Amino acid sequence: MKFHTEYLQFYTDKHRAYVHITPQVEAAVVKSGIKEGMVLVSAMHITSGVYVNDNEDGLIHDIDEWLEKLAPFRKEYKHHETGEDNGDSHLKALLIHHEVILPVTNGKLDLGTWQRVFYAEFDGQRNKRVIVKVMGE
């Protein structure tokens, strides 16, 4: 079994952002030379996540509104007693989750028709990383 690792770097201008990263993941798969296997895509921060869904602006807006309803910004989070102000960002990341595992078939990322990979940032305006680890033969 072979392994290939790459790190994607992000700095978002906004506090919350949804970044389409399918092309970067596909490039890592091609660069790996792996024909059959899996690719792990994982946010390396506790206030961001990775998910798979449709790359459609209305849906991305709906996801953002849904997350804000489930985990709204508010001053009363216990986490804020530590001096932080990002309690909602941690909760949003839990809802999205921090990683996805995707199939690689015939040397290509094997996604469904509308499936795309996204990096979700909930506490932006600073440097963040995502690990892309391709595994297989």
Domain containing residue 64? 2-72+85-136
Mean pLDDT of 56-84: 96
Mean pLDDT of the chain: 97
Instruction: Give domain status of residue 64, yes or no.
Output: yes
Show the beta-strand stretches assigned E in the chain. 2-11, 17-20, 37-43, 48-53, 99-105, 108-109, 116-121, 127-136
| Distances from the Cα of 93 to the Cα of 18, 99, 113, angstroms | 12, 10, 26
Instruction: Give domain status of residue 38, yes or no.
Output: yes
Which residue is associated with the tokens 């946010």?
43
Pairing of strands 108-109, 116-121: unpaired
Phi, psi torsion values for 27, nearest 5 degrees: -65, -40
* pTM, rounded to two decimals: 0.95
pLDDT, one tens digit per residue, over 82-133 is 999 999 999 999 999 999 999 999 999 999 999 999 999 999 999 999 999 9
Per-residue tokens: 128: 């963040």
Instruction: Give domain status of residue 104, yes or no.
Output: yes
Residue ranges of alpha helices (H) inside the chain are 22-32, 57-70, 87-96
Instruction: Give domain status of residue 108, yes or no.
Output: yes
Instruction: Give domain status of residue 80, yes or no.
Output: no
CATH number, position 96: 2.60.120.460
Instruction: Give domain status of residue 6, yes or no.
Output: yes
pLDDT at 113: 97
pLDDT at 76: 93
Count the domains in the chain. 1
Planar angle of CA 114, 28, 19, nearest 5 degrees: 50
Instruction: Give domain status of residue 99, yes or no.
Output: yes
Instruction: Give domain status of residue 13, yes or no.
Output: yes
